Chain A
Amino acid sequence: DQQVKQNSPSLSVQEGRISILNCDYTNSMFDYFLWYKKYPAEGPTFLISISSIKDKNEDGRFTVFLNKSAKHLSLHIVPSQPGDSAVYFCAASGTGANSKLTFGKGITLSVRP
Chain B
Amino acid sequence: DGGITQSPKYLFRKEGQNVTLSCEQNLNHDAMYWYRQDPGQGLRLIYYSQIVNDFQKGDIAEGYSVSREKKESFPLTVTSAQKNPTAFYLCASNNRANTGELFFGEGSRLTVL
Pick the contact of B102 from A42, A46, A99, A105 — CB < 8 Å? A46
Pick the contact of A103 from B42, B48, B106 — CB < 8 Å? B42
- With A45-B104, A46-B101, A95-B99 already in contact, the answer to whether A89 and B43 are too (CB < 8 A) is yes
- Closest residue to B38 on the A side, CB-wise? A105
Interface size on A, residues (CB 8 A): 23
Among A6, A43, A45, A95, residue most surrounded by chain B Cβ atoms (within 10 Å): A43
Name the A residues within 8 Å of B104 (CB-CB): 36, 43-45
Determine whether B2 belongs to the interface, using a CB cutoff of 8 Å to chain A.
Answer: no
Name the B residues within 8 Å of A106 (CB-CB): 42
Contact A43 B98, beta carbon cutoff 8 Å: no
A16 CA to B26 CA, complexed, in Å: 39
Contact A42 B99, beta carbon cutoff 8 Å: no
- Closest residue to A93 on the B side, CB-wise? B99
Contact B99 A32, beta carbon cutoff 8 Å: yes
Q: Which residues of B does A touch, CB under 8 Å?
A: 4, 6, 35, 40-45, 48, 58, 88, 90, 92, 97-107, 109
CB<8 Å pairs between A and B, sample of 7:
A9-B40, A41-B88, A43-B4, A49-B101, A99-B99, A100-B48, A100-B99
6 interchain residue pairs of minimum CB distance: A43-B104, A105-B42, A99-B98, A103-B43, A93-B99, A99-B99
